[in-house]
Amino acid sequence: MPDANAHAAVPRWPSLADIAAIAAGGAIGGTARVVIGALLSDPGGWPLATLLANLTGSFLLGALIGLWSRTGLRAGRSGAFLATGVLASFTTFSAVAVETMAALSAGRTFVAAAYPTVSVAAGLAVAAVGLGLTSRVGRGAP
């Protein structure tokens, strides 16, 4: 998953404690996404719940990684819990793919074209904003 030290050596297998942290975070993030899906309807056939979860999660993950890069800290087990567990699990790729396919097969071609496009464009934008915000916070102001 995203690694602020992408140039680092090949990752080791997660330890049992890492797995427990990822599993706990995954339960929280995945369930929160499903709860949002149950609460929000899809106006005009737009999968609003998935879009909201993906954009919120991308912003927060960007902010977290920006914070790590500024402080030089890789948050270890709490990083596995928050990043690989909660935030990566709160967002989903398979739902976007299936919702797009469903829109296409139902003849809603505008949604099928616009939904993945908006998801990717806005997802990149909010992740970059999150990354930029926390990368700069606390740096020497003029």
CA distance 1 to 17: 17
Give the interface segment with another protein, choosing from 39-47, 71-79, 117-125, 134-142 (CB under 8 A): 117-125
Nearest CA to 90 out of 101, 82, 98 is that of 82
Tell me, what amino acid is at 76?
A: G
Q: Count other C-beta atoms under 10 Å from residue 23's C-beta.
A: 14
Size of the site for another protein (CB under 8 A): 62
The binding track of 13-52 with respect to another protein, each residue x by CB under 8 A or -, is xx---xx--xxxxxxxxxx-xxx-xx--------------
- Calculate the alpha carbon distances from 34 to 41, 53, 73, 105 in Å: 12, 10, 31, 24
* 101 binds another protein per the rule CB under 8 A: yes
Binding residue (CB under 8 A) for another protein from 94, 139, 140, 141: 94
* 111 binds another protein per the rule CB under 8 A: no
* 106 binds another protein per the rule CB under 8 A: no
CA distance 131 to 129: 5
Of the two residues 113 and 137, which places its CB atom closer to another protein in the complex? 113
Which residues lie closer than 8 Å to 66 by C-beta, 6 or more apart? 130, 131, 132, 133, 134, 135
Give the footprint of another protein on this chain (CB under 8 A). 1-4, 6, 8-14, 18-19, 22-31, 33-35, 37-38, 54, 57-58, 60-62, 65, 80, 84-85, 87-98, 100-102, 116, 119-120, 123-124, 127-128, 131
